[in-house]
Amino acid sequence: DIVDILKPLWATKQETASRLRGRIEKVLHAAKARGWRTGENPARWRGHLDHLLPRRQKLQRGHHPAMPYGEVPAFIGRLRARDAVAARALEFLILTAARTGEVIGATWSEIDHGSGVWTIPANRMKAGREHRVPLSTRAIEILSEATKLRESEEPTVYLFPSSRRGQPLSNMAFKQLLVRMGESGFVPHGFRSSFRDWCGECTPFPREVAEAALAHIVGNSVEQAYRRGDALEKRREIMQAWAEFTQPK
């Protein structure tokens, strides 16, 4: 049954299929722990599904549909015309070149207002490494707007809370917003590509700084051992330049 579910996705939507398999595995693990089922987990990869489905590295990796960077300023102008938490959060995502999960799970305890830095803990990062994000002037303005939500009748620990008390925005909030704005051809993650393309084509910033801004690990293990800093101040320059570029004209 699990193979039948995964096969239609495995060849065309690799990332979705892989995440789906992992979630099924977790559900069945939890069911076994509660005594609701017995036996091996049929959704496990190693020694089981890896013999029935192609390995990820052999599959063609798709690209997240990205908005051309030249169109981002006008899009942000339309975002600002919308009075919604999701709109502020999506603009914050674009300005910080962060991933959806990193933004919707962001809490006020991760923000250092004095230094203008957002520190995402390792357990919330894809690579499992703490990542510091220097905040542009506009990103700080968005946080100032979000502060009003903390002063409401139902204070929240999240930067961008949902309408459900004590909960962050849904991970579908950005996709739904894009659909409502008639931009269903793009995905939130694609704005990271928009940022990277802009860095490479329109700025003199070194590749290493642009990659560090995306929390990508650059170089082999030896290079990483000698590159212990995270180029925070250089990245502050690039994030401010990106914010200024994306200002609606």
Question: From the candidates 46, 164, 226, 228, which is the catalytic residue?
Answer: 226
Q: pLDDT per residue over 168-181, tens digit each?
A: 999 899 999 999 99
pLDDT of amino acid 107 = 94
Are 90 and 106 a contacting pair, CB within 8 Å? no
pLDDT average, residue stretch 182-187:
90
Distances from the Cα of 87 to the Cα of 66, 144, 223, 226, angstroms: 18, 15, 39, 40
Question: From the candidates 88, 131, 189, 234, which is the catalytic residue?
Answer: 189
pLDDT of amino acid 148 = 76
**189 among known catalytic residues:** yes
Q: pLDDT per residue over 70-83, tens digit each?
A: 999 999 999 999 99
**126 among known catalytic residues:** yes
Query: Structure pTM?
Result: 0.73
Q: pLDDT per residue over 187-225, tens digit each?
A: 999 999 999 999 999 999 999 999 999 998 765 443 444
pLDDT of amino acid 155 = 59
Amino acid at 39: G
Q: Is the pLDDT of residue 149 over 80?
A: no
Are 230 and 197 a contacting pair, CB within 8 Å? no
DSSP assignments along 89-149, one per residue: HHHHHHHHT--HHHHHT-BGGGEETTTTEEEE-GGGSTTSS-EEEEPPHHHHHHHHHHHHH
Question: From the candidates 21, 132, 138, 192, which is the catalytic residue?
Answer: 192
Are 197 and 132 a contacting pair, CB within 8 Å? no
**192 among known catalytic residues:** yes
Q: pLDDT per residue over 219-245, tens digit each?
A: 544 344 434 467 899 999 999 999 999
Q: Which residue has the higher pLDDT, 54 or 68?
A: 68
Q: pLDDT per residue over 97-148, tens digit each?
A: 999 999 999 999 999 999 999 999 999 998 899 999 999 999 999 999 888 7
Q: pLDDT per residue over 10-65, tens digit each?
A: 877 777 788 888 899 999 999 999 999 999 999 998 888 888 888 765 444 455 68
**175 among known catalytic residues:** no
pLDDT of amino acid 10 = 82
**13 among known catalytic residues:** no
**H helical segments located in the chain:** 2-10, 14-33, 72-80, 85-96, 100-104, 137-150, 173-180, 190-202, 207-213, 221-226, 232-245
Q: Find residue 161's DSSP bridge partners.
A: 168
